[in-house]
C-alpha cells in the first residue's frame, strides 16, 4: 500500500537540495574571490559575475520547484505567515526570506552598469549604489546567510529520527561542503563560458584548487557518516550496510557520487600534466563532473535515506 511507502519526498526535493546548495556555494565562492587582493574593484572578475547571477537564479528556480511539489501548492503563502521556531523548515523559510533580497542586491551591485545604467532598470540605480557603497557589510551578511542556506538543507533532513541514514549530525556539514563544491564548479563553468575575457586565470586556478580541497572534505564526511552508523549498531548499522551495498542506489553512491563526482576529479588533478590541467576546456569538464556528482549525492541521500530505515 502506497501509504506505507517510507519514501515520502521525491526527486523535485533532491533537485531543490542541489540548487539551494549550489546557490549558497556560488555566492560564497564569488564573495571569497571578491575579497581577494585586486578583485574588489570594477570591472568585476567573471567568477564574481557568474556567482552574482547564479545565486538568485538557482535559489529562485529551486523554490519554484519546491512550491509546486507541495500537495497543496496554493496554500504555500501560509508558510510565510505562520511560524514554528522549533521546525527547521520555518528556520529555512526565514533564512531564505533574508537571503533572496541580499543575493539580488549583490547581483544589482555587480551588474550596476548593465542593469541600472545602460539597462532597463534605471530606477534601481540608487539601490545598486547602496549595494556598492555598503559592499563589505552586505557581503559579510550574505556570506553568513549563504552558510545558513547551505547547511539548513542538511538540518532539514537530519531532524527526522525516522530515517537513520539522515538522522546524523554530519549531514549539514556534508551538504554545505558539497554545495560549496557545486557553487565553485558552476561559477567556473559560467565564468569561463560567458565571461571569458573578464575571468582571470589566477582566480580560476585558485577556485579549482579550493574545489579539490573541498572534495577531500566531502569524502571524509561521507566516511564519517557510514562509520558513525556502524558504531551505533543495531538497526542503524543495518541501514548503513544496506545503503552501502543494496541495489541501484548503492551503485549510484559508488559510481556516481564517489567515483565520478569525488575520486575522478581528484585523480585527474594529480595525474594530468600542468598544461592540460590549467586549460579552460579541462576546468569546465572537471566542473561539470563535479556538478553531476553533487546532484547524484543529493539524489542518493534523499532516496537511500528514506529507503533504508533499518
Partner 1 sequence: MVHDNNLCIGCQACNVACRSENKIPDSVYRLQVWVKQEEYPNGSLGYEYHRQSCVHCENTPCVSVCPTKASHVNEDGIVLVDNDLCVGCLYCVAACPYQARYVHPVTKAPDKCTFCHESRLSRGEEPACVTVCPTEALVFGDLLDPKSKINKVLSERVTYRQKERLGTKPKMYIVPNHKGGINS
Q: Which residues bind partner 1 (CB under 8 A)?
A: 1-4, 6, 8-9, 70-73, 75-76, 78-79, 82-84, 86-90, 93, 159-163, 306
Measured distance CA(155)–CA(52) in Å, rounded: 26
The grid coordinates listed for 135 are 559592499
Closer to partner 1 by Cβ: residue 62 or 183? 62
Closer to partner 1 by Cβ: residue 49 or 298? 298
Q: Give me the least distance between CB of 252 and partner 1, in Å please.
A: 20
Q: Give me the least distance between CB of 146 and partner 1, in Å please.
A: 21
Would you tell me how many other CB atoms lie within 10 Å of the CB of residue 129?
14
Q: Do 42 and 92 form a contact (C-beta atoms < 8 A)?
A: no
Closer to partner 1 by Cβ: residue 199 or 307? 307
Q: Give me the least distance between CB of 76 and partner 1, in Å please.
A: 5
Q: Give me the least distance between CB of 304 and partner 1, in Å please.
A: 14
Distance, C-alpha 196 to centroid of its chain:
23
Measured distance CA(93)–CA(80) in Å, rounded: 7
Closer to partner 1 by Cβ: residue 4 or 270? 4
Using alpha carbons, select from 26, 12, 170, 14 the residue that is nearest to residue 99: 26
CA distances from 145 to 22, 180, 282, 285 (A): 14, 13, 32, 30
Closer to partner 1 by Cβ: residue 1 or 271? 1
Q: Give me the least distance between CB of 71 and partner 1, in Å please.
A: 3
Q: Give me the least distance between CB of 3 and partner 1, in Å please.
A: 4
Closer to partner 1 by Cβ: residue 86 or 120? 86
What is the DSSP secondary-structure string of 74-126?
GGTTHHHH---TT-HHHHHHHHHHHHHHHHHHHHHHHTIIIIIISSS-GGGHH
Amino acid at each position: 500500500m502506497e501509504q506505507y511507502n517510507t519514501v515520502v519526498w521525491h526527486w523535485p526535493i533532491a533537485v531543490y537540495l542541489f540548487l539551494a546548495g549550489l546557490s549558497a556555494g556560488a555566492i560564497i565562492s564569488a564573495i571569497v574571490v571578491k575579497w581577494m587582493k585586486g578583485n574588489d574593484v570594477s570591472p568585476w572578475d567573471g567568477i564574481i559575475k557568474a556567482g552574482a547571477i547564479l545565486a538568485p537564479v538557482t535559489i529562485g528556480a529551486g523554490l519554484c520547484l519546491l512550491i509546486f511539489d507541495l500537495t497543496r501548492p496554493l496554500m504555500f503563502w501560509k508558510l510565510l505567515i505562520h511560524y514554528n521556531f522549533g521546525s527547521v523548515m520555518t528556520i529555512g523559510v526565514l533564512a531564505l526570506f533574508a537571503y533572496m533580497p541580499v543575493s539580488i542586491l549583490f547581483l544589482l551591485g555587480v551588474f550596476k552598469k548593465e542593469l541600472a545604467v545602460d539597462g532597463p532598470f534605471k530606477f534601481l540605480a540608487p539601490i545598486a549604489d547602496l549595494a556598492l557603497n555598503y559592499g563589505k557589510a552586505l557581503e559579510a551578511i550574505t556570506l553568513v546567510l549563504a552558510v545558513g542556506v547551505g547547511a539548513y538543507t542538511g538540518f532539514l533532513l537530519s531532524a527526522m529520527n525516522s530515517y537513520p541514514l539522515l538522522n546524523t549530525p554530519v549531514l549539514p556539514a556534508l551538504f554545505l561542503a558539497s554545495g560549496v563544491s557545486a557553487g565553485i564548479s558552476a561559477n567556473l563553468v559560467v565564468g569561463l563560458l560567458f565571461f571569458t575575457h573578464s575571468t582571470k586565470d589566477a582566480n580560476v586556478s585558485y577556485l579549482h584548487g579550493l574545489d579539490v580541497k573541498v572534495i577531500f572534505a566531502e569524502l571524509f564526511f561521507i566516511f564519517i557518516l557510514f562509520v558513525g552508523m556502524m558504531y551505533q549498531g543495531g538497526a542503524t548499522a543495518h541501514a548503513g550496510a544496506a545503503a552501502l551495498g543494496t541495489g541501484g542506489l548503492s551503485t549510484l553512491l559508488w559510481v556516481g557520487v564517489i567515483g565520478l563526482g569525488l575520486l575522478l576529479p581528484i585523480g585527474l588533478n594529480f595525474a594530468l600534466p600542468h598544461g592540460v590541467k590549467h586549460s579552460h576546456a579541462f576546468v569546465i569538464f572537471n566542473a561539470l563532473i563535479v556538478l553531476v556528482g553533487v546532484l547524484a549525492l543529493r539524489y542518493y541521500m534523499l532516496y537511500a535515506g528514506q529507503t533504508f530505515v533499518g
